[in-house]
Structure 1
Amino acid sequence: MKKSLIALSLGGLTIGITEFVMMGLLPDIASDMNVSIPVAGYLISAYALGVVIGAPLLVILGRNFPPKKMLLILALLLTLFNALSIIAPNYNFLFASRFLSGLPHGAFFGVGAVVASRLADRGKEAQAISIMFSGLTLANLIGVPIGTYIGHHFIWRYTFILIAIVGLLTFLFIFLWMPKLEKSGDVNMKTQLLFFKKTEAWLIIGITAIGFGGLFAWISYIAPLLINISGFLPENVSYILILAGFGMVVGNFVGGKLADKFSPAPTVFALLFIMVLDLIMVYFFSFNQYVSLFFTFLTGAISFSVIAPIQMLMIKTAKDSEMIASAALQASFNIGNALGAFLGGLPLAAGYSYASPNLIGVGMAIIGMIITFGLIQKQKTVLKLQTE
C-alpha cells in the first residue's frame, strides 16, 4: 500500500472521529455546558452545516493551489478548529468551533479523492479512494468507541485532544509522504461552477442525498432499535456498534473493488437494490438478537460499499471540475445524514415502532435507485449521440 494513501486515510480517521463521536458525547457535553441534550444535539447540526458550506467554498478558494499544499492547509484547519473545542468556555463558543470543524471536511475528502485516483495504479482508482475512506470506517470501528470511552470516564475535552493529535499526524504524514503533484492548470471559478449546469451532476447529488440517506434513517435510530426491538441491554449497544463499524470497513473495500471491475452507475444501482432488501429484512426480523447482530454488520457493509462507486461516478462526470464535484458529493452525504435522521424520526413521532425508520430508509433507497436508473439512461443517450 502506498504511504501517500495511508496519509489520506489518517485524514479520514480524523474526520470520522470528530463527526461521529459527538453522538456518544452529547450527555457529557450537555451536563458540562448546562444545556439540554436536544440543545447539545445542535452541535451535530452545526458540524453538518459547516460541511455543506465549506466543501464547495474551500475548494473554490484553493482551486489553483497544488494538491499537496491544499491538503496540508486542510489538515491544519482540521487540527486547529477541533483544538478550539478543547478550550471552549461556553456552549456558544463550542457551537462555533463545531461549525468551523466541519468546514474542511468535504474539501479534504473532495481533494483527497481526486488525488487518490491520480496516485492509483491504472484500473485501481476506486480501490485507492476506498483506502482513503478506510480512515472513516476505522473511526467508527475504533476511534469513536475510544473517544466515547474517554469522554464518559474522564473529560469530554480529552477526546478532542485525541482528535487534534490525529490531525497533527495527518499533517505530518502528508508533508512527508505525499508527492508533489502538479495542479491541473489554472482553473477559474466560472469553470468550476459550470459543473453544476450538468444534469448528471444533480442526479448524482440526488442519489447521494436521498438514496444514501437510507443508511442514516437506519443508523440514527439503531440504539432504540437494538434496545426496544432486539432486547439488548443499553450498556451493550456501544459494543454492538463496533460490529457495524467492522461491516463498514469490509463494505468500503468491497465497494472499491466493485467500482474498478464494473461501471460505477450500474454498481450503485445494484448496491442500492441490495440495501432495499436488507432494510426490509431489518424491519421484519430485528426481534431476533442473533439475526439483529448479523444485519447490524451487513447493513454497515452494504451502506459503505456505495461510497467508492458513487465517488468514481462523480469524478468521471466532472471533467475539469473534479475537486469541486467531489467536495459537493461530501456535502450531499451530509444532507443525506440530516434528511435520513429527520424523515426516519417522523414515524417514531407518530407512535410507530422503533423498527419503522427502516421502512423510511427503504423508500429513500428506492428513490435513489430510480434516480440512478435515470442517470444510466442519460449516459446511454449521451453515448449514442457521440457515436452517431
Structure 2
Amino acid sequence: MDIIEYVKNKAHEAREGARAIAVAETQRKNSILTNMAGGLRADKDYLISENQKDIAAAREKGLSEAMIDRLTLNEKRIDEMADGLIEVSQMADPVGEISNMRKRPNEMLVGRMRVPIGVISMIYESRPNVTADAAGLCIKAGNAVILRGGSEAINSNKAIVSILRKALHAEGLPEGVVTFIDNTQREVIMEMLKLEGLIDLVIPRGGEGLIRAVTENSRIPVLKHYKGVCHVFVDSDCDQGMAMEICFNSKVQRPGTCNAMETLLVDVVIAKEFLPPMIKRFSEAGVSILGCPLTMEICSEQAAPVKEEDYYLEYLSLKLNVRVVIGIDEACAHIAKYGSSHTEAIVTNNHQRAMRFLREVDSSAVLVNASTRLNDGGQFGLGAEIGISTDKIHARGPMGLQELTTEKFIVFGNGQLRM
C-alpha cells in the first residue's frame, strides 16, 4: 500500500468513528474513558516494556537526558495518564448545550447548539502521555482523533493506543474513534495535511519547527502556538515583595514550559531598588541574566549584555532577559514588538494601569498580580487541556473540552416562511 492510500484509509476509519462518537450519550463516553483508564493501569508492565524499547533506541541515537525523561513511562506516569482520563470523564459534557435562545418578531426561536468538530488530527512529539490525554479529551467532546506521535515514542504510543481501542471495542463503538498513524515517515504528515473534507482540524503540539511545517503545508485549519515569549512588567506602583515572588515563580518554578517568563520588564522609577535583590535571588537559583544597558549599570556583576535578537527567543531554560523601561507605554511597546501573544503579566497597585494593560496587551492570557505559569487549563478551571492556542480564531488560550467543539444555529418554528 502506498503512502497516499495508507493515509486516506486512516482518515476514512476516523471519519466513520466520528459519526458514531458524535451521537454517543455522555454516560457511554464516560464509561469508555473509565475503561480506558482501567486498561492502562492493568497493563502497566506491558506499557513499560514497550516504552523501554523506545528508551533504548533513544540512547542509541544519543538523545539528551531531558528528551529521554520526556519519553519515559513509569508506574507513576501511567497512573497520571489514567487519572487524567478519569478527570475528563467527570467533567461536564459540552456537547448538546443550547445557548443564546431568542425570539424573533415572527415568533421563531433562534439559538445555538454546541456540537463536535468531527475528526481532529493531533501531531505531536516526545511525550507518550499526550496520546492518552488527546484521545480522552477528543472522545468526551464527541470527536474522533487521528494520532501521529513522534518516531522516538512509536512503541509506547502503539501500546497505549491498543489499550484505548480495546475499550472502544468493548463499548461497541468503532475503533477508528482513536486512529493511530504507525508509519513514521514525514511524507505521511504531508499527505494527511491535504485531506480537507476528511479531517476537520489539525493541532500540532511540539517545537516551533514542527508547528511551522504543519501550518505552512496544511489545507486544513490549524490550531497552534509557535512559542511562548512571555513577559512580566513590574510597575513603579507595586508591592515589591509580591512582585519578587511573582517574577521568581514565573521563571524558576518550571522554566521549560511555554508559559514561563522569558523577559522581565521593570519600571525605571524602581529599578535601582528592585533589581539588585531580584537578580541576586535569580542568580542564586541558577538563572543566567542578560540585561539591557541600564540593568548592566545596576547589576553588572550578575548579568551579561542582552542583544536585541535575544528578546525574540523562547529559552525554555534558566535564562532570562531583563530590561528597564520608562513606564507602561514602553512596556506595552516592547511586548507588542517582541512577544508571541502567549502570556503576559503586570504587577501593580494602580487600577488604571492594570486595566490599560489588560485592554492593550494582545495575548492569549493577560494577568494582573499573578504568575505567568498560571496560564493553564487546570489552573483556569477547564480541567485537562489539549494545548494553549495563540490563534484568535476558533480558540485562544488553554484549549479544554469546549474548545474542541463548535456551534451551529438551531431554530424552533411553527410554520414560519420567508416572505
Q: TM-score, normalised by structure 2?
A: 0.27
Whose Rg is larger? 2
Bigger relative contact order (CA 8 A; separation at least 6): 1
Q: Which of the two has greater helix per residue?
A: 1
The TM-score, its normalising length taken from structure 1, stands at: 0.29
Which structure's residues are more often strand, by fraction? 2
